Each structure stands twice: as structure tokens, then as C-alpha cells.
């Protein structure tokens, strides 16, 4: 992944990241409120040895003391030291329980022992620390007492710092807990956002298509919740952003380099429901609006939809033409006031693949290409049936429709492979159902159409004669 991919993931998953960050902060705050405050108090004990005062004896005594300090620090949490503390303070706990509340440490290269007590009571913390220091002093004196002198110990422990009653608890540290909760929540949110994107097998944007298939992105159609109610958006609402996206597709299609091949295109998809039929119909209308002579052929001989979208009679169509049951002039239907002609599918045959791959179909395509500037074939999806792959061998190119958020990457890869198996390739990809906002939205949606679009002035009051003429031509008869 590149840096821009991570930035896109962060923009795309900002809600998830925000939710986990807030949950982390909330969990830290709740823990800080529920957690019982604990207070910490420390006492220090100095360890020294008895010597006659010569330099050699002082050096030996200092070495001896440093070696014993670590051992004395370990004695603090033993019952021999803690039982007198319990008896003196009247504590209701065992030596093992009290040991968990006491910590003793000896700083390196020193003869000091620091005894720290942590309890839920500030007064008790100071009392326990002082009592443990006093008890350690007595225990060491008894242990180190020599047989030569029953009353004198060569080692002396002196409490040099008494434990004081703390005023502020050491735990919970609310600012630190909240900061940690924020960082943990943020890390979880970012991690889950990246994981969700990595595990997501659906096509979401142009970048996903570029990684899956080779070919130019010739258009992106924005999502419209009312697409089923108004499939011919170019005709119903020609000034909408979605209608403009089909005009962008038309412009890009005119510059596709197909090496001198006829401008006949098979519009297909990986699976059904990706918007290939509406794309083919709206593309044909925009091409006719631009002054081209266009033929829209419903080559989906299994589930034809063009006749319903265009509002035409579909009892006679392509199948009748292929079996020589009707001449071309009788099956072509003109739509609108431009040079747009529609050839419906006709009756659904029992052998659609054979008809589309027949010599009669190849000859008919040659006839279409001689009479029309653009021929748009609406064909079935590639994965369920082979109709589109067979038809692509006789046409100039293939437009692969990919539905954002619906088509999976493996489905698109399999569809591209199906074309390659018959010696064809996708001339271009058209993304449909693109979100209108967010990091996966198509670029043209960021433009404002009310400024001078459609022959209007900046105030939107005047329409040019040329635009009026074009609007009249797009109306249906």
C-alpha cells in the first residue's frame, strides 16, 4: 500500500476510528472512577557497619555493607519482618497479604534501603512503611549479632527518613489513564479500519479496478436511489449530475483507441444487477444527442430489458432478424428525435449463445457497422453465461460495467479471464453506483453545475438557442 491508500482508508473509516477512540477514552474514564484510590508512602533506612576506623577496615566495611544491603531489602517482605508490623498496628491481614502492599529497593552503589507501602488509606501507608523500617532494623540487629558480643551487632540500620502521610493518591492517575485509553482506542480503530479494507473483496473505487484489471476507466456513474424508477436519467433529468456522468462517458468513449476497429461496443458486466442495461441505454442516448447515428441492440436474449426501459414494442427483434424471419427495416425502431435506433431482443430463443455466435450474427454486425457510427450491444453478464464473450469477437470493443460496493474483485478477475479466453479484452471500465461523497466518490461530483451549465448565465436566467435545440431533440416522440 502507498501513503495515499492509507489516507483513503483513514478518511473512509473515520467513523470507526472515532468510535473506538471514544470507547477507549470512556473505558479509561470509567476505570479511573471505579478504581479505589491508593496512596503511597516511603521510608528510608541507612545501613552501616561498626569498625575501628582504620582506612582498610573502613573500605572492607563499606564493601561488606553494600553486599548486605540487597539481602536486607529482600527481608522486608518476609514474615519475620512483617509479623511484628501486623501485631504493632493491629492489622487484619496475613504476612502474605501485607507483602503485596510493600516494596523494598536498594539504589545501586548506595547503602540505603527504601521501603514503600501502598494502601487505600494515606495514614495506613505511612504507618506501615515506618513500622516495616523499624521492624527491619530490629530483625537485622538480632540476625547480625555476633557470639563474641551478645549486645553489639557489627551492622547498624538507622531510619534516616520517616514516611509521611501522602495528600494525593498515586492511582488512579486520571490524565495518564485517559491518554492511554485514547491511544489504545485510536490504535484499535486504525487497525480495524485497515483490516476491514484489506479483507474487503468488493470493488469500491477506481483504484480497486486498476489493481484488478488492465484498461482505462472511461466513466463513473454516481449512485441514484431512484434509478429503478427513472432508468433513462439522461432523458428524464438531463441536467442532473448523474446525466452529466453519462456525457463524460460519451466523451471518453470517443477517444478510446481501438486501432481502427469499428465503433461497436459490447456493454457487459461480471454478474447481474450492476447497471449494464441502463448504462447502455443512457450511453446510446447521449451519443445520439451529440449528433451521431447510433444503434442500440438488446443482445441479452435471456433477460431483455431495453424494450422496457425505452418503452418500445419487443415482440419482434434480433432473434427474428437472425433466423431471417423479418427484414432489418421491419425490426428497427427509431427513438426520440435524434438518430437513435433500437433493435429489441425479440422472442427469447432456446439457444441464445449459438445465435450470437452464428455467421448470421457476424454478418449482421458488419451491416450495422456500415450504416451506423456507433453500435451499442447490451449483453448478458460474463460469469453466468458466455454470450457476451462470444459476441465480443465480432465487435470493436467491450465496455465492462463494474458496480461499486457490489462487484467482488474475484468476480471481475474471472470476467476479464473469460474475455481473454476468447481473445478479447476490455476496452474500458465503467464504474456504476459510485458514492457521491467520501473518499471513494468520483471526481466530477465536486464540480458545481449551476454556474454556467446548460447555456445559463451565472444567475441561471437565460438559455441559449443552441441548448434549447438540443433539449428538443432529446424528447421522445
pLDDT, residue 476, reads 35
Sequence-ordered strand ranges (E) for 311-424: 333-335, 340-343, 374-378, 397-403
Q: Span 367-396, mean pLDDT?
A: 92
Portion of the chain with pLDDT greater than 70, in percent:
85
Cβ-count burial of 150 within 10 angstroms (0-12 exposed, 13-18 middle, 19+ buried)?
exposed
Kindly state the helix (H) or strand (E) to which residue 74 belongs, with its residue range: helix 55-75
pLDDT of residue 56: 53
CB-based contacts of 336, cutoff 8 Å, min separation 6 = 235, 285, 288, 473, 474, 475, 476, 477
pLDDT tens per residue, range 21-38: 999 999 999 999 998 999
Question: What is residue 477's predicted lDDT score, i.e. its pLDDT?
Answer: 30
Q: Residue 194 half-sphere exposure, CB side, CA atoms within 13 Å?
A: 13
pLDDT single digits (tens) 258-279: 556 678 899 999 998 888 999 9
Give SS3 for 293: coil
Mean pLDDT across 327-348: 89
Element (DSSP H or E) covering residue 353: helix 352-356
DSSP bridge pairs for 403: 432
* pTM metric for this prediction: 0.64
Q: What is the mean pLDDT of residues 108-125?
A: 90
DSSP E strand stretches across 193-244 = 217-222
Q: What is the DSSP string of 24-66?
A: HHHHHHHHHHHSPPBEEEEEEEEEEE-----HHHHHHHHHHHH
| pLDDT score, position 468 | 37
Q: Are 391 and 356 in contact (CB under 8 A)?
A: yes
How many H-runs (helices) and E-runs (strands) does the chain carry?
19, 12
**SS3 of residue 72 by DSSP:** helix
> What pLDDT is attached to residue 338?
83
The pLDDT score that the predictor gives to residue 153 is 65
**Could you tell me the pLDDT band of residue 48, with boundaries at 50, 70 and 90?**
confident
Task: Give the pLDDT band of residue 152 (cuts 50, 70, 90).
Answer: low
- For residue 85, pLDDT beyond 90: yes
List, edge to edge, every strand of the sheet that includes 340-343. Answer: 217-222, 428-434, 397-403, 264-269, 374-378, 294-298, 340-343, 333-335
Rounded to an integer, the average pLDDT of 420-444 is 78
Range with the poorest average pLDDT among 4-8, 24-28, 233-237, 322-326: 4-8
| Mean pLDDT to the nearest integer, 384-399 | 90
Contact call for residues 234 and 246 (beta carbons, < 8 A): yes
For CATH 3.30.70.1130, the residue range(s) in the chain are 39-161
Is the pLDDT at 470 greater than 90, yes or no? Answer: no
Identify the DSSP state of 408.
B
Contact between 346 and 328 under an 8 Å Cβ cutoff? The reply is no
For the beta carbon of residue 142, count every other beta carbon within 10 angstroms: 10
Neighbours of 465 (CB within 10 A): 8
Residue 391 has pLDDT above 50, yes or no: yes
Confidence category of residue 98, pLDDT binned at 50, 70, 90: very high
Q: What is the mean pLDDT of residues 72-90?
A: 92
pLDDT at 54: 53
Q: Kindly indicate the confidence band of residue 257, based on its pLDDT and cuts at 50, 70 and 90.
A: low
Whether 190 has a pLDDT exceeding 70, the answer reads yes
User: What pLDDT score does 109 carry?
Assistant: 78
Give the mean model confidence (pLDDT) for residues 364-391: 92
Q: What is the mean pLDDT of the chain?
A: 83
**Residue 439 in this model has a pLDDT that exceeds 70:** no
* Range scoring the smallest mean pLDDT among 201-215, 249-263, 285-299, 434-448: 434-448
Rg over alpha carbons for the chain, rounded to the nearest Å, is 42
238's grid cell: 438531463
Lowest-pLDDT choice from 70-84, 344-358, 429-443: 429-443
- Nearest partner of 318 among 379, 269, 274, 264, judged by Cα: 379
* CATH 3.40.50.300 residue spans of the chain: 206-445+462-474
CATH no. of 39-161: 3.30.70.1130
Segment 373-386 shows an average pLDDT of 93
Model pLDDT, residue 460:
36
Which of 49-63, 95-109, 119-133, 441-455 is least confident?
441-455
Average pLDDT over residues 100-115: 89
CB atoms within 10 A of CB 347: 15
Confidence of residue 441 (pLDDT cuts 50, 70, 90): low
User: What integer pLDDT is reported at residue 457 of this predicted model?
Assistant: 32
Tens-place pLDDT, residues 280-308: 999 999 999 988 999 999 999 999 999 99
- Mean pLDDT within 309-327: 87
What pLDDT was estimated at residue 269? Answer: 93
> Which residue spans within 50-143 are E strands per DSSP?
102-105, 112-119
pLDDT over threshold 90, residue 463: no
Mean pLDDT value of segment 373-388 = 93
Strand 155-161 to 264-269 pairing:
unpaired
pLDDT the model gives residue 341: 94
Q: What pLDDT is stored for residue 471 in this prediction?
A: 37
Cell of 229: 424508477
C-alpha separations of 313 from 35, 189, 223, 305, 356 in Å: 77, 55, 29, 11, 21
In this predicted structure, the answer to whether residue 472 has a pLDDT above a threshold of 50 is: no
Query: For 168-190, what is the mean pLDDT?
Result: 92
Cis peptide upstream of residue 129 (ω within 30 degrees of 0): no
CB contact at 8 A, 402 and 429: yes
Sign of CA dihedral 281, 286, 287, 292: positive
DSSP letters spanning 235-289 = HH-TTSHHHHHHHHHHHHHHT---TT--SEEEEEESSSSSSHHHHHHHHHHHHHH
CB-count exposure of residue 454 (10 Å: 0-12, 13-18, 19+): middle
What pLDDT was estimated at residue 425?
Answer: 86
With cut-offs at 50, 70 and 90, classify the pLDDT of residue 389: very high
- Percent of the chain past pLDDT 90, that is, above it, reads 42
- Class assignment of domain 206-445+462-474? alpha beta
Full DSSP string of 154-185:
SEEEEEEE-----SS-SB--HHHHHHHHHHHH
Amino acid at each position: 500500500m502507498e501513503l495515499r491508500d492509507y489516507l483513503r482508508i483513514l478518511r473512509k473509516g473515520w467513523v470507526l476510528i472515532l468510535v473506538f477512540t471514544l470507547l477507549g477514552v470512556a473505558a479509561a474514564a470509567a476505570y479511573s472512577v471505579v478504581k479505589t484510590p491508593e496512596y503511597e508512602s516511603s521510608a528510608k533506612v541507612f545501613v552501616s557497619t561498626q569498625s575501628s576506623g582504620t582506612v582498610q577496615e573502613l573500605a572492607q566495611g563499606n564493601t561488606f555493607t553494600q553486599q548486605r544491603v540487597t539481602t536486607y531489602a529482600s527481608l522486608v517482605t518476609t514474615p519475620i519482618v512483617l509479623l511484628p508490623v501486623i501485631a504493632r498496628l493491629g492489622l487484619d491481614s496475613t504476612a502474605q497479604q501485607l507483602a503485596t502492599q510493600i516494596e523494598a529497593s536498594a539504589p545501586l552503589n548506595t547503602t540505603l534501603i527504601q521501603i514503600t507501602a501502598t494502601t487505600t488509606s494515606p495514614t495506613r501507608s505511612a504507618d506501615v512503611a515506618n513500622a516495616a523500617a523499624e521492624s527491619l532494623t530490629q530483625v537485622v540487629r538480632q540476625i547480625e549479632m555476633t557470639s563474641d558480643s551478645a549486645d553489639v551487632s557489627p551492622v547498624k540500620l538507622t531510619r534516616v527518613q520517616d514516611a509521611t502521610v501522602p495528600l494525593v493518591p498515586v492511582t488512579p492517575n486520571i490524565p495518564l489513564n485517559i491518554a492511554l485509553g485514547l491511544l489504545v482506542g485510536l490504535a484499535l480503530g486504525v487497525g480495524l479500519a485497515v483490516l476491514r479494507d484489506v479483507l474487503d473483496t468488493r470493488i469500491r473505487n477506481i483504484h480497486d479496478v486498476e489493481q484488478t484489471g488492465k484498461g482505462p476507466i472511461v466513466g463513473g456513474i454516481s449512485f441514484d436511489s431512484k434509478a429503478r424508477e427513472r432508468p433513462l436519467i439522461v432523458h428524464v433529468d438531463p441536467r442532473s449530475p448523474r446525466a452529466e456522468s453519462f456525457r463524460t462517458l460519451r466523451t471518453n468513449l470517443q477517444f478510446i483507441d481501438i486501432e481502427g476497429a469499428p465503433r461497436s461496443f459490447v456493454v457487459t458486466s461480471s454478474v447481474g444487477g450492476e447497471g449494464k442495461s441502463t448504462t447502455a441505454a443512457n450511453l446510446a442516448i447521449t451519443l445520439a444527442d451529440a449528433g451521431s447515428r447510433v444503434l442500440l441492440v438488446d443482445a441479452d436474449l435471456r433477460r431483455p430489458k431495453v424494450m422496457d426501459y425505452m418503452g418500445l414494442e419487443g415482440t419482434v427483434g434480433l432473434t427474428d432478424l437472425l433466423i431471417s424471419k423479418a427484414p432489418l427495416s421491419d425490426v428497427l425502431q427509431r427513438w426520440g428525435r435524434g438518430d437513435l435506433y433500437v433493435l429489441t431482443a425479440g422472442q427469447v430463443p432456446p439457444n441464445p449463445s449459438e445465435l450470437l455466435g452464428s455467421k448470421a450474427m457476424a454478418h449482421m454486425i458488419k451491416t450495422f457497422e456500415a450504416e451506423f457510427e456507433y453500435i451499442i450491444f447490451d449483453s448478458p453478464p460474463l460469469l453466468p453465461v458466455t454470450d457476451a464473450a462470444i459476441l465480443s469477437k465480432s465487435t470493436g470493443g467491450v465496455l465492462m460495467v463494474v458496480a461499486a460496493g457490489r462487484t467482488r474483485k474475484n468476480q471481475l478477475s474471472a470476467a476479464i479471464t473469460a474475455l481473454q479466453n476468447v481473445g478479447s479484452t476490455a476496452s474500458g471500465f465503467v464504474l456504476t453506483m459510485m458514492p457521491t461523497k467520501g473518499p471513494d466518490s468520483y471526481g466530477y461530483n465536486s464540480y458545481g453545475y449551476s454556474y454556467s451549465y446548460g447555456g445559463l448565465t451565472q444567475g441561471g436566467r437565460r438559455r441559449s438557442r443552441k441548448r434549447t435545440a438540443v433539449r428538443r431533440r432529446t424528447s421522445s416522440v
